[in-house]
């Protein structure tokens, strides 16, 4: 019998590439997104369904769980991929902007996990895969709020890895480096700096470095991340962490083998801080 994956944030980027990849591999796919009516690329068929799920809207999560079981009988993998990045100096972010970053990237994942767990527990099987980031293991300038939401997700995932294995449930995290999606164009929001002139020059020079084509030369593709997610879903191992991308592996190698002080000094040098 075909296995089933539910994906959050399948309207674009990594989520969409993963929906296509698993579909090609013969899986049933519930591609969830905030606005399925506007989806033109993913075509519904007997193994692919579009569903509305906004991770900030709990009833929509519960409805997606029910609909996925109704359509396909059983869910094997739940992929928490939806996320966005709020960036800028901390004090320029409003309370709402900072809390919303956590509502989507962290509490939204908690709500999804709590919603699917009864089904996984009843089956004594299931895999939860959380898309964090290499930025869940290290930080970059201006990205402390986004990175900390991913650090939180890393910690949650590691804790759940212990707690859920005795129930037959696996927990995995995918840590992409820079990926050629439209994340920077559609999923980044900058804090308003107008009241904080002391950060203007600093922010400008950091953003210039981020947008330098040299920075993006090692970026991976969403299809490559989809393949890593497929490995995580199917390898039958209890591995928690899967790095995705050359730059993610380079960053992690430096941090792991030379220590965080060395790796942070490298980041400082690159950004000219």
Ligand X SMILES: NC(=O)c1ccc[n+]([C@@H]2O[C@H](COP(=O)([O-])OP(=O)(O)OC[C@H]3O[C@@H](n4cnc5c(N)ncnc54)[C@H](OP(=O)(O)O)[C@@H]3O)[C@@H](O)[C@H]2O)c1
Give the residue numbers marked as catalytic.
146, 150
Please tell me whether residue 127 binds ligand X under the rule CB under 6 A: no
For residue 70, the Cα-to-chain-centroid distance in whole angstroms is 26
What six digits make up the tokens of 137? 């293991």
Query: Exactly one of 187, 221, 234, 266 binds ligand X (CB under 6 A); which one?
Result: 187
Please tell me whether residue 44 binds ligand X under the rule CB under 6 A: no
Please tell me whether residue 30 binds ligand X under the rule CB under 6 A: no
Burial 38-68 (b: 16+ CB within 10 A, else e): ebeebeeeebbbbbebbbeeeebbbbbbebb
Query: Exactly one of 5, 30, 31, 33 binds ligand X (CB under 6 A); which one?
Result: 33
Query: Exactly one of 4, 8, 101, 263 binds ligand X (CB under 6 A); which one?
Result: 8
Q: Which residue lies nearer to ligand X by CB, 39 or 74?
A: 39
Please tell me whether residue 99 binds ligand X under the rule CB under 6 A: no
CA distance 124 to 143: 38
Q: Whole-number minimum distance, CB 36 to ligand X, in Å? A: 10
Tokens 């989806």 appear where?
39
Please tell me whether residue 84 binds ligand X under the rule CB under 6 A: yes
Is 29 within 8 Å of 47 (Cβ atoms)? yes
Q: Whole-number minimum distance, CB 114 to ligand X, in Å? A: 16
CA distance 211 to 214: 8
What six digits make up the tokens of 175? 């840590």
Binding footprint of ligand X on the chain (CB under 6 A): 8-9, 11-15, 33-35, 54-56, 81-84, 104, 131, 133, 176, 178-179, 181-183, 186-187
């Amino acid at each position: 019998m075909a296995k089933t994956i539910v994906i959050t944030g399948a309207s674009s980027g990594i989520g969409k590439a993963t929906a296509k990849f698993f579909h090609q591999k013969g899986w049933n796919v519930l591609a969830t997104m905030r606005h399925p009516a506007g989806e033109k690329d993913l075509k519904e068929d007997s193994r692919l369904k579009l569903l509305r799920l906004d991770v900030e809207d709990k009833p929509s999560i519960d409805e997606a769980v029910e609909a996925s079981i109704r359509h396909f009988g059983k869910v094997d993998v739940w992929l928490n991929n939806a996320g966005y990045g709020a960036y800028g100096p901390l004090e320029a972010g409003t309370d709402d902007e900072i809390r919303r970053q956590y509502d989507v990237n962290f509490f939204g994942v908690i709500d999804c996990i709590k919603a699917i767990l009864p089904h996984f527990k009843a089956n004594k099987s299931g895999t939860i895969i959380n898309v964090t980031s290499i930025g869940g293991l290290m930080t970059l300038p201006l990205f402390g709020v986004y990175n900390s939401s991913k650090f939180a997700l890393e910690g949650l995932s590691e804790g759940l890895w212990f707690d859920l294995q005795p129930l037959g449930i696996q927990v995995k995290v995918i840590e992409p480096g820079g990926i050629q999606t439209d994340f920077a164009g559609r999923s980044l929001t900058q804090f308003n700096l107008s009241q904080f002139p002391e950060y203007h020059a600093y922010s400008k020079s950091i953003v210039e470095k981020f947008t330098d084509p040299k920075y993006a030369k090692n970026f991976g593709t969403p299809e490559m991340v989809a393949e890593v997610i497929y490995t995580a879903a199917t390898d039958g191992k209890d591995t928690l962490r899967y790095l995705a991308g050359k730059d993610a592996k380079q960053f992690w190698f430096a941090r792991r083998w030379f220590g965080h002080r060395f790796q942070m000094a490298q980041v400082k040098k690159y950004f000219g801080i």
